[in-house]
Chains A and B, each alone.
Chain A
Amino acid sequence: NAGVTQTPKFQVLKTGQSMTLQCAQDMNHEYMSWYRQDPGMGLRLIHYSVGAGITDQGEVPNGYNVSRSTTEDFPLRLLSAAPSQTSVYFCASSFFPDREETQYFGPGTRLLVL
């Protein structure tokens, strides 16, 4: 198993550009989520999905869109990038949307918005 994979590893954008961060898992996990990590703030939840076709907002959803057309993939879209979206983005997944479940994290995407 490759686990949770994310592409790209690094990206530089100009303000106003759009892009998609890719996330995929090969563990047949129902639950997938996106977090952003900023210095001194830990990780904060952006969006999550409890299964294909079902998504919902987390703590900091503004400026981001998601969709879940398959169990394996959960892309995160930045519609119009802003410098405030400079961050490290992590995708995570778990078997079930249960509070006791272990979440597995991808290696992260480092994004710089100029």
Chain B
Amino acid sequence: AQSVTQLDSHVSVSEGTPVLLRCNYSSSYSPSLFWYVQHPNKGLQLLLKYTSAATLVKGINGFEAEFKKSETSFHLTKPSAHMSDAAEYFCVVSEEGGATNKLIFGTGTLLAVQP
């Protein structure tokens, strides 16, 4: 069965420092992987997605993620954090098999950005 594991439930960084949010996945096939962001009391917004093209994926707001099959990882990074990046981030895998778009979510990482 597929799954995603977000290794940190909370991450705190200072403004201007790098961000690293870690995600490991489990999948029998080449997965489709996503990162979504949720700002307080808001819906979810797609940051980026990997669908078996380039392993380094660039997203919105300066975020990027690298798909590493050997490590079964899809970590999210940003060179320099901004106060507006404070939010909850979800690593997501799309379920395998058939015509489906069922998403399997990680438990989320809450990013705090200190001034």
Contacts and interface: CB of A to CB of B under 8 A. Distances in A.
Interface in A19-76: 31, 33, 35, 40-45, 48, 50, 58
A100 B51 contact: yes
B104 to A, nearest CB: 8
Among A33, A92, A103, A108, chain B packs the most CB atoms within 10 A around the CB of A103
Given A43-B90, A90-B44, A103 B107 contact: no
A43 B105 CA distance: 6
25 contacts: A4-B43, A33-B101, A33-B102, A35-B105, A40-B9, A40-B108, A41-B107, A43-B90, A43-B105, A45-B102, A45-B103, A48-B102, A50-B99, A92-B44, A94-B101, A97-B100, A99-B32, A99-B101, A100-B51, A101-B101, A103-B103, A105-B43, A107-B42, A108-B42, A108-B43
In the A-B complex, the 7 residue pairs with the closest CB atoms: A42-B105, A99-B94, A105-B44, A100-B51, A105-B43, A107-B43, A43-B105
Contacts of A104: 46
Size class of the contact patch on chain A: 20 to 34
Contacts of A48: 101-102
Contacts of B106: 42
B49 interface: yes
A102 B92 CA distance: 11
Interface residues of B, number: 24
B37 to A, nearest CB: 11
Given A35-B105, A42-B107, 6 more contacts: A33-B103, A99-B32, A99-B96, A100-B32, A100-B51, A103-B46
B85 interface: no
B29 to A, nearest CB: 9
Contacts of A92: 44, 103
Interface string A1-30: 000100000000000000000000000000
Contacts of B102: 33, 45, 48, 58
